[in-house]
Structure 1
Amino acid sequence: MAKIPPSQEARLGDDAGAGRAGAAPARAAGSSGALETLAAQLAATAIERDRQGGHAAAERELIRASGLLKLSVPTAYGGAGASWSAVLAAVRKLAEVDSALAHVFGFHHLQVAGVLLYGTPEQQAYFLQPTVERQLFWGNALNPLDRRVIARAELDGYRIDGVKSFSSGSVGSDVLTFSAWHKPSGTALIAALPTRAEGITVNPDWDSFGQRQTDSGTVRFDHVRLEAIQVLQAPGAAPTARSTLRSQVAQLIMTNLYLGIARGAFQEARRYVREDARPWFAAGVQRHADDPYVQERFGEFWLRVEAAQALADHAGLKLDAALARGPSVTADERGEVAVAGAQAKVLAHRAALAVGSELFDVTGASSTAARYGLDRYWRNARVHTLHDPVAYKIRDLGRYALLDQVPEPTAYS
Structure 2
Amino acid sequence: MTVLEKNRTIPAPRNELVRATRPQQIIPFPQDWVKSARDLAKEFAAGAVQRDLEGARPVDQIRRLRETGLVSLLYPKSLGGGGGTLKDAAQSVLEIAKTDGSTAALLGFNYYNSLVPLLTDYTGSNDAIVRQATENRFFWGNVTQYVNKEFVAQHHPDGGFTITGTKKWNTGAPLAEVTTLLAIHPDKDRYIYAVIPTAREGLEFHDDWDPIGLRGTDSGTITFHNVRILPDEVLHWGHGPAQTGPLPLWASFGAIFYTAVFIGRTLGALEQVREWSLHGRRQGSYGGVSISADDPFIQAEFAEYWVQVQAAQAYFEKVIESVQKQWERRTSLTDEDYGAIALETLSLRTFASRSALHITPRIFELLGGRATGRETDFDQYWRDVRTLSSHDPEVLARRVIGRHVLHQEPLIFPAHFKKDNS
What TM-score, normalized by structure 1, do the two folds share?
0.90
What is residue 67 of structure 1 aligned with on the other side? Answer: 69
Q: Write the distance in 2 (CA, Å) between the matches of 1:201 and 1:264.
A: 36
Structure-to-structure mapping, 1:12-411, within 5 angstroms: 23-29=24-30, 31-119=33-121, 123-155=125-157, 156-182=159-185, 184-232=187-235, 237-238=242-243, 243-278=247-282, 280=284, 282-409=286-413
The change in CA–CA distance for 1:360 and 1:410 in structure 2 (over 3 A counts) is farther
- 92-101 or 117-126: bigger deviation: 117-126
Report the residue type matching 2:173 in the other structure.
S
**Superposed CA offset, 1:52-74 (max 9, x none):** 01322222212222221110111
Cα distance between partner residues in 1 of 2:331 and 2:13: 31
Q: CA deviation at 1:75?
A: 0.7
- Residue 209 of structure 1 aligns to a residue whose secondary structure is coil
Tell me which amino acid in the other structure corresponds to 2:25: A
Deviates more, 1:5-14 or 1:33-42: 5-14
Contact 1:322 1:334 in 2 (8 A): no
Listed one character per residue, the Cα deviations across residues 328-371 of structure 1 (whole Å, up to 9, x for unaligned) are 01233323322221221112111221211000011111111223
**Code of the aligned partner of 1:185:** K
Check whether the contact 2:120–2:235 (CA below 8 A) recurs between aligned residues. yes
Aligned to 1:4: 4
SS at match of 1:190: strand
8 Å CA contact 1:280, 1:288 repeated in 2:
no
Q: CA deviation at 1:124?
A: 2.9
Separation in 2 of the partners of 1:137 and 1:344?
A: 26
- Please tell me whether the aligned partners of residues 148 and 164 of structure 1 are also in contact (alpha carbons under 8 angstroms): no
State the alpha-carbon separation in 1 of the partners of residues 132 and 345 from structure 2: 31
Asked whether the 8 Å contact 1:187–1:236 carries over to 2, the reply is no
Q: What is the CA distance between 1:27 and its match in structure 2? A: 4.1
User: Equivalent residue of 1:358, what SS?
Assistant: coil
Matches of 1:409 and 1:258 in 2, distance apart?
26
Q: Is the 8 A contact 2:193 2:234 kept in 1?
A: yes
Could you tell me how far 1:121 is from its partner in structure 2?
5.1
Q: Deviations over 1:282-333 (max 9, x none)?
A: 5443432222221221122112211211111111112111111121012333
After superposition, give the CA deviation of every residue in 1:224-246 in whole Å (9 maximum; x if it has no partner). 221233222669714699x5111
Percent identity over the alignment is 27
- The offset of 1:26, in angstroms, is 2.0
Amino acid corresponding to residue 223 of structure 1 in structure 2: N
Give SS of 1:145's match: coil
Q: 1:10 to 1:40 in 2, by over 3 A?
A: closer
Counterpart residue type for residue 294 of structure 1? I
Tell me the CA shift for residue 114 of structure 1. 1.0
Equivalent-residue separation in structure 2 for 1:171 and 1:18 (angstroms):
12
Cα distance in structure 2, aligned partners of 1:231 and 1:98: 34
Q: Show CA shifts across 1:254-278 (max 9, x none).
A: 1111111111111111221122334
Deviation for aligned residue 1:97: 0.9
Shift of 1:17: 6.8
> Contact conserved, 1:191 with 1:232, CA < 8 A, in 2?
yes
In structure 1, the gaps of 5 or more residues are none
Whole-Å separation in 2 of the counterparts to 1:380 and 1:3: 33
SS in 2 for 1:171: helix
SS in 2 for 1:73: coil
TM-aligned CA distance change 1:19 to 1:282, over 3 Å: closer
Code of the aligned partner of 2:331: P
Question: Contact 2:191 / 2:244 at 8 angstroms: preserved in 1?
Answer: no
Q: Tell whether the 8 Å contact from 1:141 to 1:168 is kept in structure 2 after alignment.
A: yes
- Quick one: which amino acid aligns to residue 367 of structure 1? A
C-alpha distance in 2 between matches for 1:233 and 1:209 = 38
Q: 3-state SS of the aligned residue for 2:89? A: helix
Q: Deviation at 1:18?
A: 10
Give 5+ residue unaligned stretches, structure 2.
416-422
CA contact (8 A) 1:262 1:356 kept: yes
Provide the rounded CA distance (Å) in 2 between the counterparts of 1:65 and 1:203: 28
Q: Distance in 2 between matches of 1:252 and 1:53?
A: 25
Matched residues in 2 for 1:196 and 1:212: separation?
23
Deviation at 1:202, TM superposition (A): 2.4
Confirm or deny: 8 A CA contact 2:153 2:183 kept in the other structure: yes
Distance 1:172 1:410, change over 3 A: farther
Question: After superposition, what is the alpha-carbon deviation per residue over 1:133-190, rounded to whole angstroms, capped at 9, x for unaligned?
Answer: 1121110111211234320122431111111110000112110111112353243322
Instruction: Verify the 8 A CA contact 1:13 1:134 in the aligned structure 2.
Output: no
- Give the RMSD, CA atoms, in angstroms: 2.8
Write out per-residue CA displacement over residues 16-39 of structure 1, whole angstroms, 9 at most, x where no aligned residue: 77996x813324245344212211
Task: Name whichever of 154-163 and 167-176 sits farther off.
Answer: 154-163
TM-score normalised over the length of structure 2: 0.88
Q: Is the 8 A contact 2:141 2:179 kept in 1?
A: yes
SS in 1 for 2:168: strand
